[in-house]
């Protein structure tokens, strides 16, 4: 998604407002009944009295359990259940005049916000995004107008604060129509900076963002932290394939079972791992430097480089047959290209239309290349070419 897209209010969505029953003013929608956040969540350290009763107060200090939870989520462990209760929270000693920040109920997003708000007495309104981060949830619609309005009504926010202003993360803009929120809830939307760490400076400047605060970076480290989840997602379905290839090498390859498994099955399994490594690891790290605009093409280039190194003398597998080299090269190229293309969903400078266009031509070629590689490999073992 381009920077110019994420700064527009609701640029990706057409909001269709629900019909209002007869006899009810359009500006006064029916009240919503939702469960308040639990007080026994580990990060809750007390309560703040408000016009709506007790509001959970959260700690701005992240414990080792929070850090460990982040690490586990990045490796795909408990990822889809790493969330907090949606609703209204307090941090510090907020007053009715204190600002209200809106975030997703993905715990990593919530933790990031509460940590930087340690010096600001504030309210935090957490939307139910089903455990998805702000940017992705905005694209899916869960961080959107409907959920925001519903959460404002359910928490009775108008009785907690005297002002009518919400500070939303800029990356949530594609899912929120600010004009609709104002019309339906009387709360005005203000978009804060992209990075949570810039919030104190943003507030000190009178809620004015610098151009740097509006631009999403995608540095080496920002790309690197995305690798574990991409890697795990790729290896899980391929684990059984590695075992099958090793066994088939022993059963079909020349010599005894173990000799065939080592000389034919092991190189095939290693080719799979190399394809994964080039597409899911090397590609994110080298993304800006690999030639080509299409991610699939970048993965193809990296896969070709990996295959050359594997089957050259330096790789130690130069002795396998030519048929096996060709077949395994096809597999490496297909895997690397597919996994590199899969990274479009994590990149900051791809567009939905561009991704769809690339998938239309790349996916069929990747399937055909991978399938041809497997068939050629089996043929090379059976026919000894």
The tens place of each residue's pLDDT in the chain, 385 residues long, gives 333 333 333 333 223 333 333 333 344 455 567 888 999 999 999 999 998 999 999 999 999 999 999 999 999 898 889 999 999 999 999 999 999 999 999 999 999 999 999 889 999 999 999 999 998 899 888 999 999 999 999 999 999 999 999 999 999 999 999 999 999 999 999 999 999 999 999 999 999 999 999 988 898 999 999 999 989 989 988 888 999 998 988 888 888 888 888 888 888 999 999 999 999 999 999 999 999 889 999 999 999 999 988 887 655 565 688 888 999 999 999 999 999 998 887 787 777 788 888 899 999 999 999 999 999 999 888 888 7
**Per-residue pLDDT at 250:** 86
Give the integer Cα–Cα distance in Å for 118 and 384: 68
Rounded distance between C-alpha atoms, residue 336 and residue 271, angstroms: 10
Residue-level pLDDT at 347: 80
Neighbouring CB atoms inside 10 A of 129's CB total: 26
Question: In the chain, which residues fall in CATH 3.40.50.11600?
Answer: 3-216
Cα–Cα distance measured from residue 37 to residue 60, given in angstroms and rounded to the nearest whole number: 17
Can you state the percent helix, strand and coil of the chain, rounding each to 5? Answer: 55, 10, 35
pLDDT at 20: 37
CB atoms within 10 A of CB 229: 17
pLDDT at 318: 56
Residue 15: what pLDDT?
33
CATH number of 3-216: 3.40.50.11600
pTM, to two decimals: 0.81
Q: Give the pair of three-digit tokens for residue 263.
A: 């000389």
Q: Could you give the CA distance from residue 89 to residue 44 in angstroms, rounded to a whole number?
A: 9
């Amino acid at each position: 998604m381009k920077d110019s897209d994420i700064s527009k209010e609701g640029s990706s969505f057409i909001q269709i407002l629900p019909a209002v029953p007869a006899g009810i003013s359009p500006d006064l929608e029916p009240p919503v009944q939702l469960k308040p956040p639990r007080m026994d969540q580990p990060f809750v350290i007390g309560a703040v009295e408000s016009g709506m009763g007790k509001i959970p107060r959260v700690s701005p200090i992240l414990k080792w359990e929070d850090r460990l939870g982040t690490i586990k989520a990045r490796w795909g462990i408990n990822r889809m259940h790493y969330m907090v209760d949606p609703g209204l929270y307090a941090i510090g000693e907020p007053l009715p005049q204190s600002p209200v920040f809106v975030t997703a109920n993905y715990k990593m997003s919530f933790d990031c916000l509460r940590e930087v708000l340690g010096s600001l007495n504030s309210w935090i309104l957490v939307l139910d995004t089903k455990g998805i981060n702000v940017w992705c949830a905005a694209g899916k619609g869960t961080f959107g107008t409907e959920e925001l309005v519903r959460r404002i009504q359910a928490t009775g926010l108008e009785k907690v604060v005297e002002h009518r202003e919400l500070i939303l993360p800029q990356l949530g803009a594609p899912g929120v129509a600010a004009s609709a929120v104002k019309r339906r809830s009387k709360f005005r939307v203000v978009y804060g900076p992209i990075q949570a760490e810039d919030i104190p400076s943003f507030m000190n400047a009178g809620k004015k963002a610098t151009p740097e605060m509006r631009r999403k970076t995608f540095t080496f480290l920002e790309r690197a932290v995305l690798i574990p989840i991409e890697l795990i997602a790729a290896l899980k379905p391929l684990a059984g394939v590695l075992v099958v290839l090793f066994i088939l090498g022993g059963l079909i390859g020349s010599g005894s079972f173990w000799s065939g498994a080592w000389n034919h099955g092991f190189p095939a399994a290693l080719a799979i791992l190399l394809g994964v490594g080039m597409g899911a690891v090397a590609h994110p790290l080298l993304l800006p430097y690999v030639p080509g605009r299409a991610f699939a093409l970048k993965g193809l280039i990296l896969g070709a480089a990996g295959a050359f190194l594997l089957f050259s003398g330096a790789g130690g597998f130069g002795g396998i047959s030519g048929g096996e080299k060709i077949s395994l090269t096809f597999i490496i190229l297909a895997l690397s290209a597919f996994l590199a293309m899969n990274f479009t969903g994590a990149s900051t400078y791809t567009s939905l239309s561009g991704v769809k266009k690339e998938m239309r031509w790349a996916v069929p070629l990747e399937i055909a290349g991978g399938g041809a590689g497997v068939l050629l490999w089996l043929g090379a073992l059976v026919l000894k070419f």
